[in-house]
Amino acid sequence: MAFIGLGFRLVDLQLWRHDELAKLAQDNTQQKFWQAAKRGDILDVNGNLLATSIFVKTVCANPSLLANQRLIGNPQMTFARALAPLLQVDENKLYQQLLPRVWKNQKGEMATNQYVVLQRKVTDETWSKIQLAMNNLPSVADMSKWKKSDRMALTNLCQSAIFADADQMRVYPNGGLAANVLGFVASQDGTNGVQQMSGCDGIERSLNSKLSGATGWRLTETDSRKHELVALRDEDVQARDGLNVVLTIDSAVQHIVETALADAMKEHAPASITGIVMRPRTGEILAMASLPDYDPNNPRTVTTDTRDRVIGDLIEPGSTFKTIVISAALNEHVVSLNDNFFCEDGAFHFSGITLHDAEGHHFGNLTVEQILQKSSNIGAAKIGIQLQAPKLYDYMQAYGLGVPTGIPLPGEVSGKNYLRPVEKWNKVSIAQIPMGQGVAVTRLQMMMAVCAIANGGTLMQPMLVNRLQDQNGNTVQQYAPQPVRRVLNESTSKLMVEALKTVVTPDGTAPDAAMKDYVVAGKTGTAQEVDSQTHTYSSDKYLVSFIGFFPADDPQLCIYVVLDAPKEGAHAFGGTDAAPVFKEIAERCASYLNIAPDKNLPPLNSPQPLVAAGGSR
């Protein structure tokens, strides 16, 4: 009977329950170790580090081990007292985390907490100090009379109750520099239980898949102490680190822009201020900033006020929009620069409303060039009327208004709802839109339009990413400038450049934008803001701007500065508030980038002054 019972039991174990018990045995001896991939770096165009990842530890505890030990009194307090100074946390809070918690799981079984995170982002140096403290912890007890098994049990407890998981920490060495471009990250649990960083804004978000890489794993056999048996390792797949992203941003130019904007914030106290620096021929963005900004090292500093206004906010562009209307009229041969328009002595009655020129000007006859130079609203309105609504609408579309620019950043708005088709225009739209009223654009859309005028007539796609590299610096993907379409012919572009040069002369609206060694072409903008409550134009809040490029006939840089509601109120103007900021940025960038001057040069073949030996010129 005993042998029959034994035989039945063997059949049960070896045959009927074989699969169940084999899996249980495998689960007890086989373990999968996950290996996180290093997130790729973000670099500027010169290889300077803008964002990187460093490997750190997440320090954890198993409170269930501390609950059942009988060797030292109040083990939670003993461990908390040893760890609190190293983790730089409150001792009582740590004590509470180490207390066991008992509950019923979904199966109705009693369960206890075996995994508690004590501190994230702990450096390897601090973790080494924690391990040393845990190894020295048994010295708190007098073990001279203890049994050998008890001494070993306490030593094992100190080594196993506190442990660490591999983690990464994202670091932005330059603090808030280019924060809106870079974005920030947040840690989250992956499907395999490995902590992974996920981009939440900026390049970190839009290129998250490129930066993240792929998690690796190791499937292996372990002994009773969960130590790996290397000889029985089944699978070993190395993690694939993320790619490095090299931007077109130049950190030195970015610093120049942000410093100038910060100074203007102090002087004019606007609600916000933005600046962009771009190469007109290629669309490469060298700097893009919006203040107030945030520190990506501390995502808690992110608020609605720190958003990227360059691509995320729509604005009425004001008089900078006259560049679009007049260039369209020139390109269609509707007008020439020398054509005269009577500007009604400052008051133009049209379709039941009266249009005025800014600053109380009372202009009479002005040429098209002078309309740009002096920024006559009435002159621009008359040019728009002569161009006619369908053609104006076609050119607004050709310049890329109402559609995303294609910049690789999240949160870009298109303004499609504000680029209404002609049949939805009212009677005065054809006169108001040429003034920059009744139409909304993003700052980047306006920048791309003026760059098209500067570079000979071609609308470019903004370029923010230069290339992708592997961890060894090898180029995986190289990006090139992308033309979108030709908007103007080259002759029209040259005419517009000549007209825009006059804006920075003493007779223009922006003499404060003139540079010493470079000829500047540009345009001011002063637009009344719309009150969000009454939906009418505000009498004391203005959006003032200046957009310009230099050297005018061979443009290397285009710079756009916008101040939102400066303290000067109704006395704020693009020529007085934004133009000086443009000049400061332009002068410093020209010096840093070593741009050849095109002004105040000696005549060709003129005799050069001699330099005496050992002397100076």
For each of the domains in the chain, give its residue range(s) and CATH number, in order of start.
31-83+111-247 (3.90.1310.10), 251-593 (3.40.710.10)
With beta carbons less than 8 A apart as the criterion, state whether 270 and 250 touch.
no
What are the b/e assignments for 430-457, b being 16+ CB within 10 Å? Answer: bbbbbbbbbbbbbbbbbbbbbbbbbbbb
What is the distance, to the nearest Å, from the Cα of residue 355 to the centroid of all Cα atoms in its chain? 40
The pLDDT value recorded for residue 611 is 39
Output the DSSP codes for 231-267. Answer: GG--EEE--BPPPEEEES--HHHHHHHHHHHHHHHHH
> Using CA atoms, how far apart are residues 330 and 495, in angstroms rounded to an integer?
8
What are the angstrom distances between the C-alpha of 309 and each of 228, 344, 432, 452, 559?
Answer: 53, 37, 24, 22, 16
With beta carbons less than 8 A apart as the criterion, state whether 220 and 33 touch.
yes
DSSP H/E element including 104: strand 102-104
- Hey, what amino acid is at 115? Y
- Hey, what amino acid is at 482? Q
Please choose, from the candidates 421, 344, 347, 350, the residue with its C-alpha nearest in 3D space to the C-alpha of residue 385: 350
Helix axes 377-387, 389-398, angle to 10 degrees: 100
Please choose, from the candidates 548, 458, 477, the residue with its C-alpha nearest in 3D space to the C-alpha of residue 510: 548
CB atoms near residue 316 (< 10 Å): 22
The pLDDT value recorded for residue 539 is 83
Nearest-5° angle of CA 473, CA 475, CA 476? Answer: 120
Nearest-5° angle of CA 337, CA 341, CA 345? Answer: 135
* Residue segments in the chain with a per-residue pLDDT below the cut of 70: 21-34, 67-73, 103-112, 138-151, 189-195, 217-237, 601-617
What are the b/e assignments for 36-51, b being 16+ CB within 10 Å? Answer: bbbbbbbbbbeeeebb
- Total-model pTM: 0.84
Q: Give the pLDDT confidence of 172-225 residue by residue, as tens digits.
A: 999 999 999 999 999 876 655 566 789 999 999 999 999 998 877 666 666 554
Structure letter (DSSP) for residue 540: E
Please choose, from the candidates 418, 433, 422, 428, the residue with its C-alpha nearest in 3D space to the C-alpha of residue 390: 422
Phi then psi dihedrals of residue 45, to 5 deg: -65, -20
**473 burial via Cβ count (<10 Å: 0-12, 13-18, 19+):** exposed
What are the b/e assignments for 475-494, b being 16+ CB within 10 Å? Answer: eeeeeeeeebeebbeeebbe
Say what the alpha-carbon torsion angle 390, 392, 393, 397 is, to the nearest 10 degrees: 140
> Using CA atoms, how far apart are residues 222 and 228, in angstroms rounded to an integer?
4
Tokens (6 digits) for 58: 């997440």
With beta carbons less than 8 A apart as the criterion, state whether 383 and 367 touch.
no
Structure letter (DSSP) for residue 15: I
DSSP H/E element including 399: none
- Look up tokens 């002397």; give the residue: 615
- Hey, what amino acid is at 88? Q
Beta bridge partners of 340: 367
Please choose, from the candidates 158, 167, 114, the residue with its C-alpha nearest in 3D space to the C-alpha of residue 132: 158
Strands (DSSP E) contained in 515-613 are: 521-530, 537-550, 557-564
